[in-house]
Structure 1
Amino acid sequence: MTERETTQEARRLLTEYDTQLREAAELTGATTVTRDGPLWRGTYGERGFVTYRDLDHFTGPALDELITRTITYYATQPAITSFEWKTRGHDLPTDLPDRLTQHGLHAEDPETVMLGEASILAAPVPLPAGVTLRRIDTQPDPMPDLIRAAAAQERAFGVPFSPSDLARRLLDKQDLIEIWVAEVDGEVICTGRLEIVSGTAFAGIWGGGTVPEWRGQGIYRALVAQRAQSALARGARYLHSDSTEFSRPILQRSGLLPITTTTPYIWTRR
């Protein structure tokens, strides 16, 4: 595509993103969902999550009051230890991040929202000798493989991953989630999830990470292609991902487009 065509396509995809992937679509599996003006607030056990399509012209003191009400909503639930207010780089008002910070929320690292046609990413990618791909969530007891997958994610990202978190995702989203791994000699060296967004044309690719000694050999890209093929088989047209600085270039070379950024703002109970 020309630069102009790429810009037009990115704008079209951003409209699809705002229309299909925000509000209720982000709260699948929530134990409770409530509304406050433009906000959708969900709870997941000890965690809360706040989303919206737009803030409906909330600015200044009215926005401060909306933030305060949201903090109070979660703070008065003893079981809640933290909540995430998910912001996007193209949203208004532009001072929302500053106001969230002033109310005691802290920003995590921003990520790039990548979108595109699943068919672009579905072409098979050659794997190094001895490496195979496998879906691990369809077994009668997936926990042994979930433990191995979580250990590989921990090595890939350098932060703890809990197999029980993966098991909870399977329970919460049931037949809407797939977990894939790349293996060699019985060792998991790369993992990734596919999550179908019910009622939309989208599927998400999440949690992709390759252990350090196997990077640069096309394994992550092959796992993306496998998930794209599965998404297409399940009727999804588009793929989306909130991408780190490491995965974004791979997905962009594969054909997805960066359309905005997203930054989580986190409130934690003191």
Structure 2
Amino acid sequence: MDHDDVLALFDRQLRRDVRADSVSARVERDGAVVRQVGEPHDWNGVLWSDVDEASADRVIAEQVRYFGALGREFEWKVYAHDRPADLGKRLAAAGFEAEPEEAVMVAEVADQAAEVALPEGIHLRPVTDAAGVDLVTEVHEQAFGTSSALLRRRLLEQLAADTGTFSMVVAMDGDVPVSSARMEVNEGTEFAGLWGGGTVAAWRGRGLYRALVAHRARLAADLGHRYLQVDASDDSRPILQRLGFTLLTTTTPCVRRPDAQGRRVAG
């Protein structure tokens, strides 16, 4: 895998030329930025920007005004290779709050698609209905300790759309959900995104995360994608490294809430 080539492909396919990841959202190209705009339960934010020291503050202020007029909280995903180098500091000055840095990890689909044995008593349940979504969100709340209300609404919408670019799976211990994950792909790209992988505390360290990566890799292979991509937390990054994923870049989600007051926003 050539790092620079894959990074350029990532920027083009998943940032500049990306499609909306929800049926109720749209991708807009507004001069120097590519952004996704949707309902409050959708992901709203800036995916890519082409700014420099002279234009950055002006473009940031334009996006603040745009999303502010909609009453939307939004995220500006800042990648380590984005310019200008102080983009994150400029966003902070405009009222954005930086969340923990994530590692963008990638792997060849073919290297991950081998069958992985499940722990005894565990079976995988593909999610095809609202009851399955409830299982996914139950795991999410236990694994991450956060509300899944908005996630549930978004997942139900995606499931109803049935575009063939979205799938979810739950690992079940009998009738009890213990791990879950989903895969989202953009048609016409070489990447399949792995999202939401989480396991309840009692079942961690028993191979479920690895099994769900392999399961989704086989789905991605069937769809003709070459790479798997994960925005990994500090917890999942070492697991992915052991599975053969490599670091492509890092990203810091910078979030702007409608009532945030920037210390300095150029007009």
**TM-score normalised by L of structure 1:** 0.88
In the TM superposition, residue 38 of structure 1 has moved relative to its aligned partner by: 2.0
Aligned to 2:140: 153
Q: What's the counterpart of residue 182 of structure 2?
A: 193
**Counterpart selection for 1:96 from 84, 87, 90:** 87
C-alpha contact 1:136 1:179 (8 A) present in aligned 2:
yes
Cα distance change, pair 31–164 in 1 and its aligned pair in 2 (3 A): closer
Structure 1 stretches of 4+ moved >6 Å? none
Judged with a 3 Å threshold, the aligned counterparts in structure 2 of structure 1 residues 236 and 32 are, in CA distance, closer, same or farther, namely closer
Give yes or no for the alignment of 1:124 onto 2:115: yes
Secondary structure, in 3 states, of the residue corresponding to 1:175? coil
2:262 paired residue number: none
Question: Is contact 1:33–1:43 with CA below 8 Å preserved after alignment?
Answer: yes
1:75 aligns with one of 51, 68, 78: 68
Query: Structure 1, residues 209-264: CA drift from partner, whole Å, max 9, x if none?
Result: 01000000101100110000111011111110101111111111111111111111
Q: After superposition, give the CA deviation of every residue in 1:127-152 in whole Å (9 maximum; x if it has no partner).
A: 11100112112xxxx11121121011
Structure 1 partner of 2:78: 87
2:20 counterpart of 1:24: no
Residue 247 of structure 2 corresponds to 258
Kept in 2, the 8 Å contact 1:125–1:221? The answer is yes
Q: Paired residue for 2:36, among 39, 42, 54?
A: 42
Counterpart Cα distance in 2 of 1:201 and 1:221: 21
Structure 2 letter corresponding to 1:58: D
| Aligned-partner residue type, residue 107 of structure 2 | G
What percentage of aligned pairs have identical amino acids?
36
Q: How far apart are the structure 1 equivalents of 2:106 and 2:184?
A: 14
Query: Does the 8 Å CA contact 1:10/1:257 hold for their aligned counterparts?
Result: no
- Shift in Å, 1:103: 0.4
Matched residue, 1:220: 209
What pairs with 1:160-239 in structure 2 (closer than 5 Å)?
Answer: 160-162=147-149, 163-171=152-160, 174-239=163-228
CA contact (8 A) 1:50 1:84 kept: yes
Deviates more, 1:8-17 or 1:176-185: 8-17
Q: Identify the range of structure 1 (155-164 vs 257-266) with the bigger mean alpha-carbon deviation.
A: 155-164
8 Å Cα contact 2:20-2:26 kept in structure 1: no
One-letter amino acid of the structure 2 residue matched with residue 165 of structure 1? R
In 2, the alpha carbon distance for the partners of 1:11 and 1:153 equals: 34
The Cα RMSD (Å) is 1.7
Output the TM-score relative to the length of structure 2: 0.89
1:100–1:265 contact (8 Å) kept in structure 2? yes
Instruction: Determine if contact 2:80/2:249 at 8 Å carries over to the other structure.
Output: yes
Provide structure 2 residue ranges, at least 5 long, that are not aligned to the other structure. 260-267
d(CA) in 2 for partners of 1:227, 1:233? 10
